[in-house]
Structure 1
Amino acid sequence: MSKIITIGSATLDVYLKSSAFKEMKSEKFVTGIGECLALGSKNEVQEVFIDTGGGATNCAVTFVNLGMDVSVMTRIGNDLFGGEIERTLKEKRINTALLQKDKNRQTSYSTLLLLGTGQRSILVYRGASNALDFLPKGEKPDWFYMTSLGGNIKLLSKILVYAKKNKIKMMYNPGGGELKQGLSKLKKYFHGLEVLNLNREEAALLCETKYENMNIIIKKLKGVAPYVVITDGPKGAFCLQKNELWFAPSLGTRPVNTTGAGDAFGSGFCSGLMLKNNLDYALRLGILNSDGVIKKMGAKNGLLTEFPNKIQLNKVKIRKEKIPT
């Protein structure tokens, strides 16, 4: 019986790093900064890196690295890319009994455009991942870790009903397809979670406000789940718990690549709750796991391979404050 099942996407990722990719500040972009190329230009790529990705598989690697029994519920195509994803999962000793194969759709694919700073933009083809079904085959783990469900609210509801019936705790990092439906529609589903996990851009989209309006985001998300995590890129991560706002700063590492940092933080955070049921410890574990992955190319390299010692944990300086009413 799996201790945790990750649910969501599995992709083949191609990373392209080029000095031709430029940052441009503009209010037209959600974050205020865009990644650009000259229209009609032909540009050199300095580095190419290929790996498997997708939230379900990325997070599963953290859990198996830390000694947990983990299964992945995801959907791939019956093609070359899908075969590589399955091979990689088995190589890492992740249970593939819940892997779904689609004869009519291709495996999900992403191209990641990397700046020299490690920041990136991602072009995504969802493919088979958008046809994911919930087929637990009688599994009753301690936790579900859900990533993007492609906007499928019926699927989300199906998972929540099963989890409630079988007393399974849930952490959820919704995708854009779910988030754009708005907080008013999704709030009733979030109440069934243990942890809601978002990055700041996702939180702004969900709350239908601007990226800069962190106070509004915090006010709207307070209490929608026992723990509401908001990662804030290189700054670190916030967590709302009851009337307290916790903050764990990043360690200031210069990133080689930021892809997978959110998955690394989330799966590290969840591992901390599973092991000790302690928010302070969970935040430290999340920061250390994400700090490792940004030092390497790919979303699975650099992840923790054992629980950190006290010296490592103390590198993360946690602070907390009361949330204004």
Structure 2
Amino acid sequence: MKNILTIGTALQDITFSTNEGRILNTPQNLTAQKMLAFELGAKFNIKTADFTFGGGGANIAVGLAKLGQKTAILTCLGNDFLADEIIKNLKKYKVATNFIERSNQNSALAFILSAENYKNEHTIFIQRGASEDLKINFSELSQPKSKNSQFDLIYLSSLSGRYAKNNLANIFQYKTNFSGVKMVWNPGYEQIKMGLKNLAPYLKNTSAFIINKDEALELCVDSKSRKNINNPRILLKILSAYIQNTIIITDGANGAYAFDNNKIYYAPSKKIIAKNTTGVGDAFGAGFTWAYLIMGFNLEKSLNLGIKNSLSVLTKVGAQEGLLNQAEILQ
């Protein structure tokens, strides 16, 4: 069992399912190749509304806890009913909540529009609220007079808000201070907007960098190597100039790719009927991290176990509902 800290959002998800949206193909836009459209000013029926829990920090914490690890989450919540429910859910999975900060803003809330007429793919509207007030001070987390970190691994997901850049710098300074800590990074939108050159000092200090294809395109779109940039293998090559360790690009139903020691690995996905696509990337991240950095499995097996965890989440509504335990993921 490893001591793991996850950093990122914890929130309430409200998922609306409808088949009344129209899918628009926009292949000319590399970073937005499909659009979900509704008539302006119209009223649409919602078939179901499900209330679940999500957020990158919470999903990873729950996922790794279910896989037998001792996990804690560093996030910021409001002083409201939602915060109480979010903490109650985390404790249900034995995730430590003593590092949670509080804010006068409301706790984060996400509205997820699930397109039943397009494989239940989703579009998310998120009100980040208190999560944007997260202010990380690792001196408060370190054990007094200890030369060792109390964490074996840190999993960093999306950061946002006025302290995001300082938080990012503080997290990687902690990694520098405690070189034995493994760092997994799944960057958020604000980090991707910074661009490869600005992220370079942090990228070289990750143990594993996990990103989906759309995010990789956003990050690499200004690269000089634009030919065939829509190909995950080309994206891996571009990123490898900045990242010394393992790089993973997930590509939805097409599977997942990894780059390590100048070699590309690939694992296919399986076709299933999806009830939900929310949290699938986090499920992959938890499964892969457990397999590769905790259990020490090889890259190919770790990719497959990450995919297995994400496929299980696809069969349930909610980002945490289908997460597998150790026995299930190895079955």
Aligned position for 1:321: none
State the distance in 2 between where 1:142 and 1:164 align: 14
Matched AA of 2:258: C
Runs of 4+ in 1 over 6 A off after TM superposition: none
Gaps of 5+ in 1: 313-325
Aligned position for 2:146: none
Give the superposed CA RMSD: 1.9
Q: Which residue, out of 142, 162, 175, partners 1:163?
A: 175
Q: Which residue, out of 203, 208, 216, partners 1:203?
A: 216
2:34 pairs with 1:24:
no
Superposed CA offset, 1:21-57 (max 9, x none)? 2211124573311011111111100010011110010
Q: How does 1:1-325 map to 2 (within 5 A)?
A: 3-26=3-26, 27=28, 30-102=31-103, 104-116=104-116, 117-136=119-138, 137-138=141-142, 140-150=150-160, 152-166=164-178, 167-208=180-221, 212-223=230-241, 224-273=243-292, 274-308=294-328, 312=331
Q: CA deviation at 1:203?
A: 0.5
Distance 1:306-1:277 versus aligned 2 partners, 3 A rule: closer
Gaps of 5+ in 2: 144-149
SS, match of residue 295 in structure 2: helix
Distance 1:217-1:309 versus aligned 2 partners, 3 A rule: closer
Contact 1:70 1:94 (8 Å CA) reproduced: yes
Matched AA of 1:280: E
Contact 2:316 2:322 (8 Å CA) reproduced: yes
Contact 1:235 1:249 (8 Å CA) reproduced: yes
Contact 1:62 1:267 (8 Å CA) reproduced: yes
State the distance in 2 between where 1:22 and 1:121 align: 13
State the distance in 1 between where 2:97 and 2:2 align: 11
Matched AA of 1:12: Q
Aligned position for 1:316: none
Contact 1:2 1:71 (8 Å CA) reproduced: no
Matched AA of 1:80: F
TM-score under structure 1 length normalisation: 0.90
State the distance in 1 between where 2:42 and 2:328 align: 47
Superposed CA offset, 1:258-306 (max 9, x none)? 1100000011100012112532232122011001000000000111122
Aligned position for 1:317: none
Contact 2:80 2:107 (8 Å CA) reproduced: yes
Matched AA of 1:61: V
State the distance in 2 between where 1:83 and 1:38 align: 37
TM-score under structure 2 length normalisation: 0.89
Contact 1:11 1:110 (8 Å CA) reproduced: yes
SS, match of residue 67 in structure 1: coil
Superposed CA offset, 1:204-236 (max 9, x none)? 111125872545422211151411111101111
Contact 1:98 1:135 (8 Å CA) reproduced: no
State the distance in 2 between where 1:272 and 1:153 align: 30
Contact 2:233 2:264 (8 Å CA) reproduced: no
Distance 1:176-1:146 versus aligned 2 partners, 3 A rule: same
Distance 1:169-1:206 versus aligned 2 partners, 3 A rule: same
State the distance in 1 between where 2:284 and 2:329 align: 17
Superposed CA offset, 1:227-255 (max 9, x none)? 11111011111111121111111121221
